[in-house]
Structure 1
Amino acid sequence: MKSTLLLTAALAVFAAQAQAQTATTATTTAPPRVAADQIATNKGPLTVQPITHGSVVFTWNGKTIYVDPYDGAAAYAGLAAPDVILITDIHGDHLDPKTLAGLPVSKALMVVPKAVADKLPAEYQKQVRILSNGQRLDTLGMSISAVAMYNLPEAPDAMHTKGRGNGYVLNLGGKNVYLSGDTEDIAEMRALKNIDVAFVCMNLPYTMDVNQAAQGVLAFKPGIVYPYHYRGQDGLSDVASFKKTVNTANKKIDVRLRNWYPAAK
């Protein structure tokens, strides 16, 4: 009888440990993450994986591109190591050395503005390619163009001054993908042409409000637009209102609302 009780107790402890280990593994390897989208290109599908805030991961033609990796390495668990990392600005929700340190980035090309390059740890300097607004890099079968991002009105003490940071336009298999970075509805954004997919920020007081973002999008008419980077001082921006404003004026623009803050309580 005593042996039976000891065996039962041991089995119970083992089961509890196994359950705890399973729970820990699930938490580590499967962070809250919305489903990825796929967009057709002439070199196979472009996979769009929202991560959080201004961070997104693209997979295309056997290459993986991380945009503004942020919020801890666990957010990227299960994703392929990056071939290219794009960083838009020096602020901590874009340039996050702690997250970079936890990711397998040793073979990645880092495309950044000079202000970011100046702040990156020394260990990454050999991987860095600096792009200024208006410059383009052709690499790995894609093109990466740096475009302006800044606050209005322009001022030396603005949170985002003209020329410091980069938005980006990627050409991936004939599709042009625009990443706004931290910007307002500046003339350079409104003048964009032939954008197939756009990621547009909207969070006061750092970038622009929902209506500014909608009017900017209506000016350059992307085929698909994702509102992203929409957490501000007063919580999350009303992206449903953004969609309504855009589609009331132009039903052809595919406004895709995704939850960029799945871990938010």
Structure 2
Amino acid sequence: MKYSYLSLILVCLLAFSCKTDQKKQTKDTIETNSKDLVDESPSKEETLSIHPISHATLVLSYGSDDIYIDPTGGTEAYKGFSTPEFVLITDIHGDHMDFETLKALDLSSATVIAPKAVIDKFPSDLKIGKSVRLNNGDSITLNGHTFKAIPMYNLRKGALKFHTKGRGNGYVITINDERIYISGDTEDIPEMRNLNAIDKAFVCMNLPYTMTVDKAAEAVLEFKPKTVYPYHYRGKDGMSDVKNFKTLINQGDEAIEVIQLDWYN
């Protein structure tokens, strides 16, 4: 009887030990598998961030890449941003091509993308990493991002003097399969209306230099971006009615999101 009790105790201890080891093994397996999944996954999915600076000027941030578009406002406007990987310039006017700002920024490692009319005006003391000339319709892929030059010009007879066809560039930038349209100074030209698969669109609307709110809305409702950001809406007679722009878009297609950023703080 004594041995029976001892045997029973021994069996219980062995069962408890096996159960404990099984629990420990299960826990270790879960922890190891979790760690393996983390190691095999990409470091962290990068997201695109949009930073309005002023009027036609913005910064697109993606991972370690900062893309400056029509940089103006001096170095103070870019505190907190890294030195740009790319700089895009749309046209020769001062609210897009500001050489004082370009000279003040550190562009020693930047690639500046611009139309011929802009590059031809680069002063000899402008220090940049390299420049890439894109004509309307041209495209280039750099560091995994694709930049395509889109025409931007005026249609109205009284405004043809402001932006002639072929001089300036709008851009479609493809970043991680997301297509971002920068209109530059333009009216509702066929090349804008025929855009497709645009995720984010920055669309100008100011008189007398570009187009009316109504025409901007008509164009957006035709090429149907997922999201549209009214920008470049300060004109000769003040600010354009961006609230009306949003109303027109919402009435025409509720699927298009209109986001109003603070361009004139």
Q: Does the CA-based 8 Å contact 2:103-2:127 persist in structure 1?
A: no
1:77 CA drift (Å): 1.5
3-state SS of 2:168 partner: coil
Report deviation, 1:105.
1.3
2:91 pairs, out of 89, 92, 98, with 89
Q: TM-score, normalised by structure 2?
A: 0.80
Match of 1:197 among 184, 197, 200: 200
Contact in 1 for aligned 2:109/2:129 (Cα 8 Å): no
How far does residue 125 in structure 1 lie from its aligned partner after superposition?
A: 6.7
Are 1:71 and 1:93, in contact at CA under 8 Å, matched by a contact in 2? Answer: no
Q: What residue is the counterpart of 2:132 in the other structure? A: 129
The answer for the alignment partner of 1:183 in structure 2 is: 186
Residue 102 of structure 1: CA displacement? 1.5
Distance 1:126 1:58 in 2: 19
Deviation at 1:120? 1.3
Larger radius of gyration: 2
Note the residue ranges of structure 1 that are not aligned, 5 or more in a row. Answer: 1-41
Q: Which has the higher contact order (CA 8 A, sep 6+)?
A: 1
The CA distance in 1 between the partners of 2:194 and 2:157, in whole Å, is 18
Which residue pairs with 2:152 in the alignment? 149
For residue 177 of structure 2, what is the aligned residue in structure 1?
174
**Structure 2 spans left out of the alignment, 5+ residues:** 1-43
> What is aligned with 1:28?
none
* 1:210-238 CA distance string (max 9 Å, x none): 11100010000000100000100111111
Partner of 1:115: 117
Change (3 A) 1:174 1:69: same
Alpha carbons of 1:102 and 1:109: their partners in 2 closer, same or farther (altered >3 Å)?
Answer: same
What is the CA–CA distance in structure 2 between the aligned matches of 1:241 and 1:212, rounded to whole Å? Answer: 12
Q: In the TM superposition, what whole-angstrom CA distance separates every residue of 1:39-66 from its partner, at most 9, and x where no partner exists?
A: xxx9520010111000110111321100
**C-alpha separation in 2, matches of 1:240 and 1:80:** 33
Q: 1:204 to 1:114 in 2, by over 3 A?
A: same
**Matching of residues 1-265 of structure 1 within 5 Å:** 44-122=46-124, 123-124=126-127, 127-153=130-156, 158-262=161-265
Alignment CA distance shift 1:48-1:126 (3 Å): closer
Look up the equivalent residue of 1:140 and give its one-letter code: N
Q: Distance in 1 between matches of 2:178 and 2:158?
A: 34
1:62-106 per-position Cα deviation (integer Å, ceiling 9, x unaligned): 211000001222111121110000000000000000011121111
Does the Cα contact within 8 Å between 2:107 and 2:128 map onto a contact in 1? Answer: no
For this pair of structures, how many residues does the alignment match?
A: 221
Distance change (3 Å), C-alpha of 1:154 and 1:140: farther
